[in-house]
Protein backbone atom coordinates (compact mmCIF):
# COMPACT_ATOMS: atom_id res chain seq x y z
CA UNK A 1 0.00 0.00 0.00
CA UNK A 2 1.33 3.40 -0.98
CA UNK A 3 1.31 5.55 2.14
CA UNK A 4 2.91 8.57 0.54
CA UNK A 5 0.50 11.44 1.19
CA UNK A 6 2.38 14.10 -0.75
CA UNK A 7 -0.12 16.56 -2.22
CA UNK A 8 -2.91 15.46 0.11
CA UNK A 9 -4.54 17.81 2.60
CA UNK A 10 -5.50 16.59 6.05
CA UNK A 11 -7.86 18.27 8.51
CA UNK A 12 -7.05 17.02 12.00
CA UNK A 13 -9.49 18.11 14.69
CA UNK A 14 -8.28 18.26 18.25
CA UNK A 15 -4.84 18.22 16.64
CA UNK A 16 -2.94 20.37 19.12
CA UNK A 17 -2.64 17.73 21.84
CA UNK A 18 -2.86 14.03 22.60
CA UNK A 19 -4.09 11.54 20.03
CA UNK A 20 -5.02 14.23 17.49
CA UNK A 21 -1.56 15.75 17.68
CA UNK A 22 0.05 12.33 17.17
CA UNK A 23 -2.17 11.86 14.09
CA UNK A 24 -1.18 15.28 12.77
CA UNK A 25 2.51 14.50 13.25
CA UNK A 26 2.21 11.12 11.56
CA UNK A 27 0.28 12.51 8.61
CA UNK A 28 2.89 15.25 8.22
CA UNK A 29 5.67 12.66 8.30
CA UNK A 30 3.84 10.82 5.55
CA UNK A 31 3.91 13.96 3.40
CA UNK A 32 0.45 15.47 3.87
CA UNK A 33 -0.29 19.16 4.28
CA UNK A 34 -1.91 19.31 7.70
CA UNK A 35 -4.45 21.76 9.14
CA UNK A 36 -5.02 21.31 12.85
CA UNK A 37 -8.15 22.47 14.65
CA UNK A 38 -8.40 23.41 18.34
CA UNK A 39 -9.25 26.42 20.53
CA UNK A 40 -5.99 27.50 22.15
CA UNK A 41 -3.74 29.54 19.85
CA UNK A 42 -0.75 28.86 22.06
CA UNK A 43 -1.11 25.10 21.78
CA UNK A 44 -1.97 25.27 18.09
CA UNK A 45 1.24 27.19 17.37
CA UNK A 46 3.29 24.83 19.46
CA UNK A 47 1.80 21.80 17.69
CA UNK A 48 2.30 23.42 14.30
CA UNK A 49 6.01 23.80 15.07
CA UNK A 50 6.22 20.07 15.78
CA UNK A 51 5.01 19.01 12.32
CA UNK A 52 7.55 17.67 9.88
CA UNK A 53 7.83 19.60 6.62
CA UNK A 54 10.57 17.57 5.01
CA UNK A 55 8.44 17.39 1.83
CA UNK A 56 8.04 21.19 1.73
CA UNK A 57 4.45 20.83 2.80
CA UNK A 58 2.39 23.71 4.07
CA UNK A 59 0.79 23.27 7.48
CA UNK A 60 -1.56 25.67 9.21
CA UNK A 61 -4.21 25.80 11.89
CA UNK A 62 -7.83 26.77 12.33
CA UNK A 63 -8.87 28.14 15.69
CA UNK A 64 -12.45 26.94 16.21
CA UNK A 65 -14.69 25.54 18.91
CA UNK A 66 -15.98 22.11 17.89
CA UNK A 67 -18.79 22.37 20.42
CA UNK A 68 -20.19 25.30 18.46
CA UNK A 69 -21.29 24.10 15.00
CA UNK A 70 -22.01 27.65 13.81
CA UNK A 71 -18.51 28.80 14.76
CA UNK A 72 -17.07 25.76 13.02
CA UNK A 73 -19.06 26.35 9.83
CA UNK A 74 -18.23 30.07 9.77
CA UNK A 75 -14.51 29.39 10.04
CA UNK A 76 -14.22 26.28 7.88
CA UNK A 77 -16.33 27.36 4.90
CA UNK A 78 -13.89 30.06 3.68
CA UNK A 79 -11.01 27.58 3.92
CA UNK A 80 -12.94 25.07 1.81
CA UNK A 81 -13.39 27.65 -0.97
CA UNK A 82 -9.73 27.27 -1.87
CA UNK A 83 -8.84 23.84 -0.54
CA UNK A 84 -10.06 20.26 -0.63
CA UNK A 85 -9.35 18.03 2.32
CA UNK A 86 -8.59 14.44 1.36
CA UNK A 87 -8.28 13.30 4.96
CA UNK A 88 -10.59 14.18 7.84
CA UNK A 89 -9.78 13.19 11.40
CA UNK A 90 -12.86 13.71 13.56
CA UNK A 91 -11.65 14.08 17.12
CA UNK A 92 -11.90 16.35 20.17
CA UNK A 93 -10.97 16.18 23.80
CA UNK A 94 -13.37 14.99 26.46
CA UNK A 95 -15.96 14.56 27.64
CA UNK A 96 -14.51 13.98 31.11
CA UNK A 97 -15.04 10.65 32.77
CA UNK A 98 -17.16 10.49 35.89
CA UNK A 99 -20.09 8.87 37.59
CA UNK A 100 -23.14 8.66 35.34
CA UNK A 101 -25.55 9.88 37.98
CA UNK A 102 -23.52 13.00 38.65
CA UNK A 103 -23.54 14.04 34.98
CA UNK A 104 -25.76 17.03 34.29
CA UNK A 105 -27.99 17.69 31.29
CA UNK A 106 -25.43 20.24 30.14
CA UNK A 107 -22.65 17.62 30.31
CA UNK A 108 -24.63 15.45 27.90
CA UNK A 109 -25.53 18.34 25.61
CA UNK A 110 -21.92 19.52 25.46
CA UNK A 111 -20.71 16.00 24.62
CA UNK A 112 -23.42 15.72 21.97
CA UNK A 113 -22.41 19.02 20.36
CA UNK A 114 -18.64 18.58 20.64
CA UNK A 115 -18.56 15.05 19.26
CA UNK A 116 -21.64 13.87 17.40
CA UNK A 117 -22.78 17.20 15.95
CA UNK A 118 -19.20 18.25 15.23
CA UNK A 119 -18.56 14.93 13.43
CA UNK A 120 -21.63 15.48 11.30
CA UNK A 121 -20.90 19.15 10.60
CA UNK A 122 -17.37 18.29 9.51
CA UNK A 123 -18.41 15.37 7.32
CA UNK A 124 -21.15 17.48 5.71
CA UNK A 125 -18.70 20.26 4.88
CA UNK A 126 -15.65 18.23 3.88
CA UNK A 127 -16.97 15.14 2.07
CA UNK A 128 -18.56 17.00 -0.90
CA UNK A 129 -15.12 18.47 -1.73
CA UNK A 130 -13.55 15.02 -1.46
CA UNK A 131 -16.06 13.75 -4.01
CA UNK A 132 -15.55 16.67 -6.39
CA UNK A 133 -11.77 16.29 -6.29
CA UNK A 134 -12.07 13.12 -8.36
CA UNK A 135 -9.40 11.52 -6.19
CA UNK A 136 -11.95 9.83 -3.99
CA UNK A 137 -11.36 6.32 -5.24
CA UNK A 138 -7.65 6.39 -4.60
CA UNK A 139 -6.87 8.34 -1.49
CA UNK A 140 -9.70 9.32 0.78
CA UNK A 141 -9.62 8.66 4.46
CA UNK A 142 -12.14 9.76 6.97
CA UNK A 143 -11.24 8.76 10.47
CA UNK A 144 -13.31 8.95 13.58
CA UNK A 145 -11.13 8.80 16.65
CA UNK A 146 -11.83 7.96 20.24
CA UNK A 147 -14.90 9.12 22.00
CA UNK A 148 -15.67 9.09 25.67
CA UNK A 149 -18.45 7.27 27.38
CA UNK A 150 -21.03 10.05 27.51
CA UNK A 151 -21.80 9.97 23.80
CA UNK A 152 -19.91 6.91 22.66
CA UNK A 153 -23.02 4.92 21.84
CA UNK A 154 -24.43 7.73 19.70
CA UNK A 155 -21.18 8.13 17.81
CA UNK A 156 -20.94 4.40 17.29
CA UNK A 157 -24.36 4.51 15.67
CA UNK A 158 -23.43 7.51 13.57
CA UNK A 159 -20.14 6.31 12.14
CA UNK A 160 -21.28 3.02 10.59
CA UNK A 161 -24.43 4.76 9.37
CA UNK A 162 -22.31 7.46 7.75
CA UNK A 163 -20.11 4.79 6.22
CA UNK A 164 -23.15 2.90 4.98
CA UNK A 165 -24.73 5.95 3.40
CA UNK A 166 -21.53 6.92 1.62
CA UNK A 167 -20.97 3.31 0.64
CA UNK A 168 -24.16 3.42 -1.43
CA UNK A 169 -22.54 6.00 -3.64
CA UNK A 170 -20.30 4.19 -6.12
CA UNK A 171 -17.95 7.18 -6.28
CA UNK A 172 -17.21 6.76 -2.63
CA UNK A 173 -17.03 3.05 -2.31
CA UNK A 174 -13.32 2.89 -1.68
CA UNK A 175 -13.49 5.34 1.20
CA UNK A 176 -11.94 3.98 4.34
CA UNK A 177 -13.91 4.64 7.50
CA UNK A 178 -12.65 3.66 10.88
CA UNK A 179 -13.72 4.46 14.35
CA UNK A 180 -11.54 3.64 17.32
CA UNK A 181 -14.21 3.99 19.91
CA UNK A 182 -14.60 0.45 21.16
N1 LIG B 1 -6.12 9.35 25.75
C2 LIG B 1 -6.68 8.14 25.75
O3 LIG B 1 -6.12 7.14 26.22
C4 LIG B 1 -8.03 7.94 25.13
C5 LIG B 1 -8.54 6.66 25.08
C6 LIG B 1 -9.78 6.45 24.48
C7 LIG B 1 -10.49 7.52 23.99
N8 LIG B 1 -9.98 8.76 24.06
C9 LIG B 1 -10.76 9.83 23.51
O10 LIG B 1 -10.02 10.39 22.41
C11 LIG B 1 -10.31 11.78 22.33
C12 LIG B 1 -9.01 12.59 22.39
O13 LIG B 1 -8.37 12.30 23.63
P14 LIG B 1 -6.94 12.93 23.99
O15 LIG B 1 -6.46 12.21 25.18
O16 LIG B 1 -6.08 12.96 22.77
O17 LIG B 1 -7.40 14.43 24.39
P18 LIG B 1 -6.47 15.70 24.75
O19 LIG B 1 -5.05 15.31 24.91
O20 LIG B 1 -7.17 16.41 25.85
O21 LIG B 1 -6.54 16.59 23.41
C22 LIG B 1 -7.77 17.12 23.05
C23 LIG B 1 -7.60 18.00 21.81
O24 LIG B 1 -8.90 18.45 21.42
C25 LIG B 1 -8.93 19.88 21.45
N26 LIG B 1 -10.26 20.29 21.87
C27 LIG B 1 -10.89 20.00 23.04
N28 LIG B 1 -12.08 20.57 23.07
C29 LIG B 1 -12.23 21.25 21.91
C30 LIG B 1 -13.26 22.05 21.36
N31 LIG B 1 -14.41 22.29 22.00
N32 LIG B 1 -13.08 22.60 20.14
C33 LIG B 1 -11.92 22.39 19.46
N34 LIG B 1 -10.92 21.63 19.91
C35 LIG B 1 -11.08 21.07 21.13
C36 LIG B 1 -7.82 20.28 22.42
O37 LIG B 1 -7.35 21.60 22.21
P38 LIG B 1 -8.03 22.88 22.94
O39 LIG B 1 -8.33 22.47 24.36
O40 LIG B 1 -7.01 23.97 22.83
O41 LIG B 1 -9.26 23.21 22.16
C42 LIG B 1 -6.77 19.25 22.06
O43 LIG B 1 -6.11 19.60 20.87
C44 LIG B 1 -11.26 12.09 23.50
O45 LIG B 1 -12.61 12.06 23.03
C46 LIG B 1 -10.98 10.96 24.46
O47 LIG B 1 -12.08 10.73 25.31
C48 LIG B 1 -8.77 8.99 24.62
Instruction: Give the residue extent of every domain in the chain.
Output: 9-179
The yes-or-no verdict on residue 94 having pLDDT over 80 is: yes
Supply the residue whose CA is at minimum distance from atom 6 of ligand 1. Answer: 146
Nearest atom in ligand 1 to 15's CA: 43
Whole-number percent of the chain with pLDDT over 70: 72
Q: Which residues contact 24 (CB under 8 A, 6 or more apart)?
A: 10, 12, 15, 34, 36, 47, 51, 89
pTM to 2 decimals? 0.86
**Alpha-carbon distance 94 to 113, whole Å?**
12
Q: How would CATH label the architecture of 9-179? A: 3-Layer(aba) Sandwich (3.40)
- The pLDDT, as a whole number, for residue 181 is 30
Mean pLDDT of the residues in the chain: 81
The yes-or-no verdict on residue 144 having pLDDT over 60 is: no
Nearest atom in ligand 1 to 14's CA: 24
61, 35 in Cβ contact below 8 A? Answer: yes
120, 158 in Cβ contact below 8 A? Answer: yes
Q: How confident is the model at residue 24 (pLDDT cuts 50, 70, 90)?
A: very high
The yes-or-no verdict on residue 177 having pLDDT over 50 is: no
Q: How confident is the model at residue 160 (pLDDT cuts 50, 70, 90)?
A: low
Measuring from each residue's beta carbon to the nearest atom of ligand 1, which residues come in under 6 Å?
A: 14-20, 37-40, 43, 65-67, 91-94, 114, 145-148
**Between residues 142 and 133, the one the model is more confident about:** 133
**Between residues 93 and 135, the one the model is more confident about:** 93
Cα 169 to averaged position of ligand 1 atoms, centre (Å): 32
**Between residues 3 and 86, the one the model is more confident about:** 86
- The pLDDT, as a whole number, for residue 21 is 97
Cα 23 to averaged position of ligand 1 atoms, centre (Å): 12
**Alpha-carbon distance 57 to 32, whole Å?**
7
To 5 degrees, how large is the angle CA 84–CA 31–CA 139? 50
Supply the residue whose CA is at minimum distance from atom 2 of ligand 1. Answer: 19
**Between residues 98 and 177, the one the model is more confident about:** 98
The yes-or-no verdict on residue 17 having pLDDT over 90 is: yes
Tell me the range of 9-18, 144-153, 160-169 where mean pLDDT is highest: 9-18
- The pLDDT, as a whole number, for residue 2 is 65
- The pLDDT, as a whole number, for residue 1 is 61
**Alpha-carbon distance 90 to 66, whole Å?**
10
Nearest atom in ligand 1 to 20's CA: 16
Cα 33 to averaged position of ligand 1 atoms, centre (Å): 21
Supply the residue whose CA is at minimum distance from atom 20 of ligand 1. Answer: 93
**Between residues 127 and 37, the one the model is more confident about:** 37
The yes-or-no verdict on residue 89 having pLDDT over 50 is: yes
Amino acid sequence: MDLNLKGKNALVCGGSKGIGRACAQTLAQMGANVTIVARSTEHLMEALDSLSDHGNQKHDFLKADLSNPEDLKKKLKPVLESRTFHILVNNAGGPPSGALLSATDEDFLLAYRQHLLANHTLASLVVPGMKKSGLWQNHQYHLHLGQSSTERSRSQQYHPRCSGILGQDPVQRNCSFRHHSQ
